[in-house]
Each structure stands twice: as C-alpha cells, then as structure tokens.
Amino acid sequence: MWFTREHFALCNTLRARGLEPRFEVGDVVARGFADLGFEEFQVLPGPRLLSLTAGTVTQLPDEHRQHFFWIPAVDEAVSILETQGYTVSSLSREDAREWRLSLVHEAGESVEVIARTLHEVVLRALVRIYSEERQ
C-alpha cells in the first residue's frame, strides 16, 4: 500500500466535496470496498488500471469510474490550491514531527494546516478550502 488510511479518507472526502477523479495515464486513483478497505490503482493507457496492491491489470469501464476517487500528488494538490486563488505563504517542519502549511487567498483570507507528512498537509489544505469554497 502506497498511501495511508488518512490519505484515502482525505481524498474520498475531496471527492464527496466535488473534486472529480482524474483518469489520465499515470494518475493514482482508489476505491473503497466495504469489507476490504481501500485499494489504489495507477491509470494505464487503454483505459486500464494497475492494482498497486495485487499487481493485476484490468479494464476500466466507464460505468465504474463513479466508484473511484483521485489521489493527487503533492505538486498536483498545490496546483489545485493555486487555481482556487491560494498562494503558499510558508511551509515549515515543526519539531521534526509535523508540517505546517500557511496559505493566503487572493481575497486576503489565511488558512493554516498541520499534518504529519507533506502529502497529508496539502491534502488537508484542499479539504479545508473545498469545505469553505463549496458551502
């Protein structure tokens, strides 16, 4: 498993708040299974999916896309923040344990997020702005 349960939960929340999954070659998507937890896949040409858990390759029918959510990489998440009008004002490592990310919106609003990993901190920032922007 490449990602933690926290990553899955954050990305699943983003999907619920309107961040549509992307199915471009190389993207990582995941889906939840009631009895198994989450499974992540890398999108291949075709469109096909490579299971990062089992190593199997399967076709991706259009009718199954609704069950997936996207796991944006750190740079992709930052790009989404920027398209929503946010700029990273600071990023620091606190006590060698947590990352602190501060954002400023073009309208002047500030957002601060703390998390254990760099990837998690940008995903938490996305969840914050998607909860504020979409309500």
- Rounded to 10 degrees, what is the CA torsion of 107, 14, 121, 28? -130
Edge-first strand listing for the sheet containing 98-105 = 86-94, 98-105, 110-115
Q: What is the pLDDT of residue 134?
A: 45
The fold adopted by the segment(s) 5-70 is: SH3 type barrels. (2.30.30)
Other CB atoms within a 10 A radius of the CB of residue 3 amount to 18
Q: Which long-range contacts (CB under 8 A, 24 or more apart) does 99-102 make?
A: 101/125
* pLDDT values of the chain reduced to their tens digit, one per residue, 135 residues: 468 888 999 999 999 999 999 999 999 999 988 777 899 999 999 989 999 988 999 999 999 999 999 999 999 999 999 999 999 999 999 888 999 999 999 999 999 999 999 999 999 999 999 876 544
Ordered by start, the domain boundaries in the chain are: 5-70, 74-133
Q: What is the pLDDT of residue 133?
A: 55
How far is Cα 53 from Cα 41, in angstroms, rounded to an integer? Answer: 8
Pick the CATH number of 74-133 from 1.10.3470, 1.10.260, 3.30.160, 3.40.50: 3.30.160
**What does pTM read for this prediction?**
0.89
